[in-house]
Amino acid sequence: MSETQHFKDYHRETRIFWARLAVMSVLMLALMGVLVYRYHHLQVVQYQDYATQSDRNRIHVQPIPPTRGLIYDRNGLLLAENRPSYTLSVVRERAGDLEETLKYLQTLVEINANDLEKFYKLMHQRRRPFEPVPLRYNLTEEELASLAVNEFRLEGVEIDAQLVRHYPYGELFAHTVGYVGRISEAELTNFDEDQYRRYSGTHSIGKTGLERLEHYPKLKARIEQHIEETYGQQKLLRACIERLGSSPSTVKDLSAKLVAFGQSVSGMMVSDEVVKGAMSGYVFEHMEIASYTILIAAAKAVGDVETQRACEQILPQEIAMAEWLKENLPELTQAFLARSAADDKTAKR
């Protein structure tokens, strides 16, 4: 009995081979297209996003607060300045065991219960990651040396050199110049994103007076205008004094103290800093008007034409400022009362 023989169908096998090859080619081209698309999406479309994320892994943006300007009176007397100070701060995210770090720091520098209370309070306030939290202010040279020697043991501990506000006359000019204080939790809560970004590099903020006069823009603009006028007056008066061969230092120092004391006393009857400052300014402008009127008469009597001309140039500016205050005091008072009725905590600023 003969066996059945099967012959290969080369044409059929060839067709199957090419069909399979076509399917695999299409599949490979599709996968290659997906890879090319994904590569283009990552490297071209989303390049900026991933480049930014990469930079954030190696770059830490640290806000640097600007230096507050110096404040002078019309005679060049310094009313507010900045002094260098060193602050001990802790970066919570780098400190490891925070309690152990604080205990070790207490063996190196004096840290009392009040310092620790303020530190924990600031640490739980809204802050950016890796933002230093101040623990001790005004470090002495001995404390700086002790911390420097043990720096290798203090992971996450930083010493920041910064300028702090100093007022040579203390509280005498506080009603006008204002003062700088720590940012309170209530102020931090009321910050919008722009304010939070602007104050992210500092822990202090202007409280009242010229340090903070933001809710009364009309008054602020007029004060800034009069300050510019005052700079011109200062040059005129200094030229007159130097021409007569005198020195203004002793006289201006004594007069500044007397004026500051008078303004402080006159403002004790008013609880609001803005209204109080405007009232004191109105009284002070009239005192200046009287002073320049007397100087004009005296210069005229002795034949000092230059001094007479300088005082006659200054006098209209003081009269204009006094008239402006007189016309705007009612509006300023009404604005304060309206803000107070709305329970606005910033009414007095």
The residue type of 45 is V
Residue 96 and residue 173 in contact, taking contact as beta carbons nearer than 8 Å: no
Residue 243 and residue 306 in contact, taking contact as beta carbons nearer than 8 Å: yes
Which of the residue ranges 223-227, 290-294, 303-307 would you say has the lowest mean pLDDT? 223-227
Express each pLDDT in 111-134 by its tens digit.
Answer: 888 888 888 888 887 667 777 888
The string of DSSP letters for 108-132 reads HS---HHHHHHHHHHHTSS--TT--
Express each pLDDT in 30-46 by its tens digit.
Answer: 999 999 999 988 888 88
pLDDT at 18 over 80: yes
Residue 204 and residue 230 in contact, taking contact as beta carbons nearer than 8 Å: no
Helix (H, G, I), strand (E, B) or coil at 22: helix
Express each pLDDT in 64-82 by its tens digit.
Answer: 777 888 888 766 778 888 8
Mean pLDDT of 267-276: 55
pLDDT at 110 over 50: yes
Position 258 scores a pLDDT of 46
Q: Which residue has the higher pLDDT, 300 or 179?
A: 300
Percentages helix, strand, coil for the chain (3-state, rounded to 5) are: 65, 10, 25
Q: Which of 171, 206, 207 is nearest to 79 (CA)?
A: 171
pLDDT at 160 over 80: yes
Q: Can you tell me the distance from the alpha carbon of 281 to that of 323, in angstroms, rounded to the nearest whole number?
A: 11
